[in-house]
Chains A and B, each alone.
Chain A
Amino acid sequence: MTCGPLYFVADFNVETLAREVANSAMPGTAAQTAPPGPVMNALASGSPGPEWSAVIWTRPEGISGSFGRALTYEEPGTDAAIEDARVFAESVAQFGRGTRATFVISWVLPPWHRGYGPLDFHPRLGIARLLSRMNLTLADTLHGEANVFVLDAARWISAIGPRAWSDKLWYASKSPFTPAAFELAAADIAAAVAGLHGLSRRIVIVDLDDVLWGGTVGEIGWQRIKVGGHDYAGEAFADFQRALKALTRRGIQLAIVSRNEEAVALEAIDRHPEMALRRADFAAWKINWRDKAENVADLLAEIGLGAESAVFIDDSPVERARVAAGVPGVLVPDWPADPAKYRQALASLRCFDAPFVTDEDRKRAAMYAAQRSRQASRPAAGDLQTWRESLEVTVTAERLADANLERAAQLFNKTNQMNLATRRLTSGELLDWAAAAGHEVLTFRVTDRFGDSGLTGLVGLAFDGGRARLVDFVLSCRVLGRNVEDMLLHVAAARARAHGAAELVAEFRPTARNAPCLEFLRGSGFRADGERSFVWDLAEPYPRPAWVTLKLEVKS
């Protein structure tokens, strides 16, 4: 998948960053810098095109003359500097609307700039205070722009320290930052772009012994493993567990792959009093003596995620190498030997960066727990239909709107298996597509007696006279097998009939991952028209699964 070209606008020589992005952080990405000249002019000229993303990086004194004067200890014109920041942000917003996505870098000062020392947060004099307020003004003004993101340069500068900046580079090349600073910036930009395209990681698979706790539970028993307590390593393991648990609030799932006796390991998780992670925090586990790579692959297949969605953490370099080689696509970070560094190693991973955090993200751990209960209630063989009917599934269909846009865009960009066309669009692009004449995008929420699965389905329709096209058919694997997929087709067909169409056509676009969607269409009752085209004659409604309740909150 291409993430599109990148356009760099700066009030300094930003060529080093463009080269770092194009040749290392995002190899193969086309990168172009704006012609030299005032940034405000470059912004006013607009973006090179809607397929471009942009990076805008300025120096605060380059944007605000008042701030520049504050740097030389003149009486700061606080209000004027804030107004300069607001005007700049408005220009960024205007520019950003013409891009696929725009990343604006927060303002920073060199770490060696001491300002007024102890007075640097003084309400009237403070330079650091003024810069903080300018950054907040920038972020607040851009808050409503769905495709504009403020990246925090202070993190790069503090990670590198004084070596982030070089006056020599400024004098020699008009670039104030060193290659080391640009390397971190490029990595964060790449992570943000990847997140925007649904490429952020969604699950962390962890080993147990010497990862979640110290010691081998099978040998010493759960009572003697190191977690919590008055012991530096125990505290570190407990803190690492808390850091993993915190990740679940961003929608990242947890799972276990460990060589252990399952009953012994789960007893430790259930009974150790200082365990921050409990059984309900894990979406799945494979605790046995099989090959770890096979276990990782099987676990991902079971929960319907691809290898490129997963991170695998293990203290053993041998196991890490085995999983990296055996399940290509899984991110297997080098892992520190010292448990005191685990939390930092986890927090340093950029692969979880995403453009938004939805309600579904925050509830995902509970959703997976509900899924386990649901699966446990499913008969191994025999009367599946009675089981389906017992679930009391309700599907609520709503039109795409601001209120559900972020989650809809997330689902749209992250779903691989049950995805008809696998289009990848930013939230703004999806909204624009839905608003175009003859288009309609519906979202679907699913609940049953085990819980709320959230917004897990999306249908995109294009109406053209007597023909309606099912452009997008996207369904989370979390709700597959409950006849929700049939309900989506029923609603899509009903909307097409309401628009006067005579037939509904679904064109399947194959990817490496969406064969399940083709299989579903082949068994859906749609008439096959060639290998990849499926047609429903709208003289008849598409059958509705009688045991699924439909709430149609869509006005014609």
Chain B
Amino acid sequence: MEPTVDILKDLHYRMLRIRLFEEAAGRLFEGNKMPGFLHLYVGQEAVAAGVCVAMRDDDQVSSTHRGHGHLVAKGGDLNKMMAELMGKADGYCNGKGGSMHICDLDLNMLGANGIVGGGTPIAVGAGFANKYKGNDTVSVAFFGDGSTNIGAFHEAINMAAALRLPVLFVCENNEYGEYTRRDKVMAINDVVDRAAGYGIPGVIVDGMDAVAVYEAAVEGLARARRGEGPTFIEAKTYRYYNHHGVQTLGMKYRTDEEVDAWKAKDCIEGFERRVTEAGLISADELAAVRVELEAEVEAAVEFGENSPLPEVSTLLTDVYTEVSR
């Protein structure tokens, strides 16, 4: 479906909101202001934005260890996100979830997940619930190329296909599982080849092009809503920073030339160039959005920094609904 100008603006807004949030998070991490691990989404923004713009608010998302982008694209509160990344009490999960378990149920974002492949069964379970409830809500599983090598992924997608559950599978193929190139651990070039083995349709899209992702997602979501079962979208994309952090570990597992070649296809720069050249959105309007988002991100950093650490007593809360034993 050809996107309207409003949709183009929305795609741009969500991509840029992710980018600026992640860049700020990366700076904080490199400045030792964040505990734990930080898996940045920079480079892949067109995927989260393209899919989430095509989704309805009641549609659900299960995410990955690289999950900030999905929550931002779902409309996440940057203050609560930044505080959560910093392990602070005002974060989405009171600082107990951190970067890899960030979630917002009000936005039907069921959570990032610390385990590769961990989120996919959850999206399938949500689809199972939607089918039982008889609504036309769709759950979307975001996952990477690496997760398709994991047993849980196979079990989940097979079940969704067999039961024709309303689930959209979105593979973000960024060509690396941690620090190992995809083709070293997978004997196929296109991850989408796997869809045929489950008897579901699969499509490849340019994951650096938010419009292409959006159009594929519209199709896949509509198909699921019609009760025709899951669709597999492979978005070819790339992460600019390391598996974790910005330059953390400093390992040379890919060349500068390769990174530069992908950056030349940057999803935001390319998008801005195309829409201004086509006269669809003015450069001034794009610049104004950037100013607005920069202020939002700056405020989020301040919010996170000012938020207190969680009380030590919260270590024992919410293991169970009530403290027993």
A interacts with B = no
